[in-house]
Structure 1
């Protein structure tokens, strides 16, 4: 019965998808629920306690890069399949895993609620389950993160700042929550921040020449040099001759990205204050704005000592990813 139940669950997801794609009427789906960056894992508790559960924890609760302390990508709640019913099925991100004679590894949209991503993994043995998880995990993490970003944007989008500093200075628009305020605006630099318990969340924006970062062999060093020069000029510390720089002990992580419909790089790492014991995580996007022949730089950073920072940085990422470029060249 257990295997039959899994097969029925998987077939039901396929049928739901087919009905939604070809049926004359759209099914009513309740709104999905759950905290941002939460993941519902539906699987037998004994499997959860063994190697299959270990594989799930290794992939979906891996450490977030660029944070000072260990924090998982997703906060996981595990439920046995018989409990997954009613409102629990409305969870926004769901991973369903069960040992079964069939072998499946796929992702469905909006199976029980909307928006929702349900990753389904089945297999006849624990070894095959682990193989299927290994093959699906990168796609599933990407899909879950996408729906979580959209949820974060939906939440803060209810009350947005009407400040025009970014638009007037750079010809860009960001959907920034109204609680963020512009604290500094100079030629080629805008700084917005918000007070949080024990610290601040910050967004800064500036541009660099189009021909910056032409040498691949010194790319990371050039990024660090850029951040340090901007920090020294615009982001002072609490005392004279103190200012923000990139933490010297660790090189930042750099990944390709696409932001605002343009090619970019994503940089994650730690900042510190030169000459003073303050530090925290940062996220930088360096965006190729060919229309304006510039590199547009957007950065979010957090200062929140002795506090978990994953969700703060996730909100900053969600904000920065809303960037919209004016299609016309910016007049200078």
Structure 2
């Protein structure tokens, strides 16, 4: 074998190996935030099984002023399983088969991806599997969407020094946000969008403000309303931001950065004004630093749906890591 022939074979093998290696890499998932591709034949989709899927995965999102579905559902027949919908981040495959089973496959066709396989011998068996696994499916999908938002946010972040130095925390805030107000223990950041704006508040109060109180919900509402009186107003006098009184906010005890935190979702309004919108408030009990660290997101976008905006704010807040002073 002469040198030229050997070199040709070597180069051919090299490019073949590179191409094979690239083929082995998973494709990147596509699609909008909070979307699910449901792979199910029309006969099942147009009956009781389809109704169950819609009722559970397109149920109204809590804490929004107008009704919006938990997820946007796109349905495709099973025979169209191959193709663009396999690049979706979240796929639910429903079909009849010889066994009753529920299987979760990660990154089956692309990455990051969840594929939930639901197979039942009968329609009743499928309904039972859906009923028993809805909570887990929703939890996994929501976390995947938050992870995806956080991944995208990391591509262009706001300089962290101001927030880090003031509160001794790290939080991934996109560079699209700008500082509006800064106080000793308070920061307000805002992002302008076509239909309005989204805001992020970071502040701290003494731990006694809410700890060991009989009514945590009432005390957190009083805390956020006091911040509104100090920093957030409309154009006219006596138009402070307050928690809307007509509806009780949703309240949950959670863990955030391995610390006890209280999550509140509800609606804000400007007193004596027409402006309003949804908010999410996270009060983190920071025992080491003897404080309650609060991160809150809210938006004003009267002409647009707000589900995805609020999840983006939630993803920012949940990137927080609390340090020591």
TM-score by shorter chain over 0.5:
yes
Residue 320 (1) aligns with residue 320 (2): no
Aligned equivalents of 1:288 and 1:106: distance in 2? 38
Residue 146 (1) aligns with residue 136 (2): no
Cα distance, 1:214 vs structure 2: 3.7
| 1:194 paired residue number | 191
Q: How many residues align?
A: 303
Aligned equivalents of 2:189 and 2:99: distance in 1? 53
| 1:95 paired residue number | 92
Please show how residues 95-174 of structure 1 align to structure 2 within 5 Å: 95-174=92-171
Q: Structure 1's 130 and 217: CA in aligned 2 closer, same or farther, altered over 3 A?
A: farther
Contact 2:160–2:170 under 8 Å retained in 1? no
Aligned equivalents of 1:80 and 1:99: distance in 2? 13
With the length of structure 2 as denominator, give the TM-score of the two structures.
0.90
| 2:10 paired residue number | none
Q: Unpaired runs of 5+ in structure 1?
A: 1-25
Cα distance, 1:265 vs structure 2: 1.7
Please show how residues 1-332 of structure 1 align to structure 2 within 5 Å: 28-215=25-212, 217-326=214-323, 328=324, 330=325
> Could you say what secondary structure the match of 2:138 adopts?
helix
With the length of structure 1 as denominator, give the TM-score of the two structures.
0.88
Aligned equivalents of 2:207 and 2:278: distance in 1? 26
Question: Could you say what the CA RMSD is over the residues aligned between the two structures, in angstroms?
Answer: 1.5
Aligned equivalents of 2:42 and 2:253: distance in 1? 38
Cα distance, 1:163 vs structure 2: 4.6
> Could you say what secondary structure the match of 2:215 adopts?
helix
Q: Unpaired runs of 5+ in structure 2?
A: 1-22
Cα distance, 1:156 vs structure 2: 2.1
Aligned equivalents of 2:85 and 2:139: distance in 1? 22
Q: Deviations over 1:229-251 (max 9, x none)?
A: 11111111221111100000011
Moved more, 98-107 or 312-321: 98-107
Contact 1:106–1:136 under 8 Å retained in 2? no
Q: Structure 1's 264 and 27: CA in aligned 2 closer, same or farther, altered over 3 A?
A: farther
